[in-house]
Chains A and B, each alone.
Chain A
Amino acid sequence: MLQRRIPLVIVFITGVLMSIQYFIPHPVSQSAYNIALTWFRGVASMAYAIAVISFVRHHSRRLKQPQNSFYSAVALAAFLFMCIVGFGFGIGEGTIFAKMYLNVQVPLQATTFSLLAFYMASAAYRAFRVKGLEATLLLITAFIVMFGVTTIGNYIPFIPKLTEWLMAVPNLASKRGILIGVGLGMISTSLKIILGIERNWLGG
């Protein structure tokens, strides 16, 4: 009862109320709407607790495994250090907190994602093959767009216009077809969640 029914009741009541208020421009519905937004921001601001609990639990467990203990100790120490400098000395410009973010987190994250460039080049070399009409169309479009998005494309008179047309007509048509499907899917999923038909979010 507590485990499944209460969350389903909460989701149903709040979901129905919020859907209905859109169509009823009455002061009562308006104030309910404003309260809901305030509550939403309040509850959302504490959601990060789940991430912190999961992080601490995961790495504390790994401290007992000899092969992982050093790395998990690094993660936990870094977390604690950020909390100490952030809560203790502030988060404004020029603080250790801001410097740690700009000079430790930013380069680490940005470089990790930059590795994708190498993998993409390698994949394009090995896997991008002209097999059949579909692949050929994909390749031709990709080549034109690649020329168009580079500054070199500006030297070739028709490339910028052709790229813009490809993006704004056939590409747009394809993306819009997908987008309308996604929209319908989102609306039906939202309805299924409110009505309790979709329950995957409750987990096991």
Chain B
Amino acid sequence: MRDFLIKLSKIERRYIYLALFLALTLPLIFPPNFPQKMSPTVKSVFEFIDTLPPGSHVLLSADYDASVLPEVDPMYRAVLKHCILRGVIPIGMTLYPQGAVLALDAFKEAEEYLGARRDTDYVFLGYQAGFQAVILGIGENIKNVFPKDYFGTPIDSIPAMRGVNNYKDIALVISFSGSSVPVTWVIYAYSKYHQKVAAAVTAVSAADFYPYIQTGQFVGMLAGMKGAAEYEYAVRKIMKDEGIEKLPPAKAVKGMDANSIGHLLIMLFIIIGNLGYFAAKRRK
């Protein structure tokens, strides 16, 4: 038994890769459909948007790139649809050049599934350079930072932007990110202009952001694929309740099923590795 454990703990890495690949693939092909339960930090963001009066504005900053796509992109798509469903006007923008086309694709999806109309139901401003200067600039006058939207339309002539001058006219800013950009929003938008900020972040940064929730610097937080799945599930439920037949893909919900099995496997890996380690130690 001891020899077997020692041998097992020294297994070739390719078998580990194969086991992981299967653990993540099989639940996607044969979905176990695990239950979804909204965590408190996600609930805060969801309820904030859900209770906004129609016609309010929410700034959705796509501060992410393809390296964090499966976690953050479903969050962006779900929150965006939630806004449209509740009559809240999402203003899309990004502090990352790469976020521009990714966010644009998300708005396209909202057009396809919810019939959202550009410049009436949503606005897409695109990218602007200089993190701090952009965030601070919006606090003074959004038109100075974005004189035109992504498509070259002057901001003044966009109906959905009527009456929006600075943070006073924006109910919430959500920074979707795989890095510390949400904290940059806190430093320059919350601390200077008292703007309400929420974070939608990768799981890697989630643990670091808990202190900002307790201080109230973040209204709430969507953390990793789990946060994305919880929000996606809730938005799909609203769509079903409203009788919308064609639903968008549930990438995060399905992905979380696979992720859960993957986590069980990694726990098993750690246990086997340690059993082998102790078996070898005893032999010595």
Q: Taking the complex as a whole, does A directly touch B, i.e. does some CB pair lie under 8 Å apart?
A: yes
Binding site for B on A (CB under 8 A): 34, 37-38, 40-41, 43-45, 47-48, 91-93, 98, 101-102, 105-110, 112-113, 117-118, 120-122, 124-130, 139, 143, 146-147, 149-152, 154-155, 160, 164, 167-168, 171-172, 175-176, 179
Min Cβ gap A105→B in Å is 6
Interface check B145, CB cutoff 8 A = yes
B274 interface residue (CB < 8 Å to A): yes
Band of interface residues on B: 35 or more
Given A37-B133, A93-B105, list of 8 further CB < 8 A pairs? A34-B144, A41-B133, A91-B100, A118-B20, A130-B277, A149-B223, A152-B263, A175-B211
B247 within 8 A of A: no
Question: Please, could you name 22 A-B residue pairs with CB atoms under 8 Å apart, sorted by A?
Answer: A45-B130, A93-B104, A105-B98, A107-B66, A108-B66, A117-B24, A118-B20, A120-B266, A125-B270, A125-B272, A129-B274, A130-B274, A130-B277, A149-B226, A150-B264, A151-B260, A152-B263, A160-B37, A168-B210, A171-B210, A172-B214, A175-B208
Contact yes or no, A160 B274, CB < 8 A? no
B284 at the interface (CB under 8 A from A): no
Q: A45-B129, A110-B70, A172-B211 are in contact. Are A125 and B16 (CB under 8 A)?
A: yes
Q: What A residues does B24 contact at CB under 8 A?
A: 117
**The one of A110, A121, A124, A152 that contacts B69, using a Cβ cutoff of 8 Å:** A110
Interface string of B195-232 (1 = CB under 8 A from A): 00000000100011011011000000001101001000
Per the bound structure, the CA–CA distance linking A178 and B42 in Å amounts to: 25
B30 within 8 A of A: no
**Cα A109 to Cα B178 with chains together (Å):** 14
| Chain B binding surface, main DSSP class | helix
The residue of chain A having its C-beta at the shortest distance from the C-beta of B131 within the complex is A44
Contact A172 B101 (CB under 8 A): no
**Closest CB in chain A relative to B227 CB, distance in Å:** 9
Binary interface profile of B, 177-208, with partner A (CB < 8 Å = 1, else 0)?
00000000000000000000000000100011
From B17, B34, B98, B274, contact of A122 by CB (8 A): B17
Enumerate chain A residues within 8 angstroms of B226, measured Cβ to Cβ. 149-151
Picked from B102, B137, B260, the residue with its CB within 8 Å of the CB of A41 is B137
Count CB-based A-B contacts (< 8 Å): 154
Residues of A within 8 A of B163 (CB): none
Known A-B contacts A41-B134, A93-B108, A129-B277; A124 and B266 likewise in contact (beta carbons under 8 Å): yes
Q: CA of A128 to CA of B277 in the docked complex: distance in angstroms?
A: 10
Residue of A102, A105, A149, A160 ringed by the most chain B CB atoms within 10 A: A149
Report the minimal beta-carbon distance from B275 to chain A, rounded to whole angstroms.
Answer: 10
**Chain B residues near A108 (CB-CB < 8 A):** 66
Task: Give the distance to chain B from A171, nearest Cβ to Cβ, in Å.
Answer: 6
Residues A121 and B266 in contact, CB atoms below 8 Å apart: yes
Is the beta-carbon distance between A106 and B130 smaller than 8 angstroms? no
In the complex, which residues 39-72 of chain B have their Cβ closer than 8 Å to any Cβ of chain A?
Answer: 39-40, 65-70
Contact for B37 among A47, A48, A130, A154, CB less than 8 A: A154
Contacts of B20 in A (CB 8 A): 117-118, 121
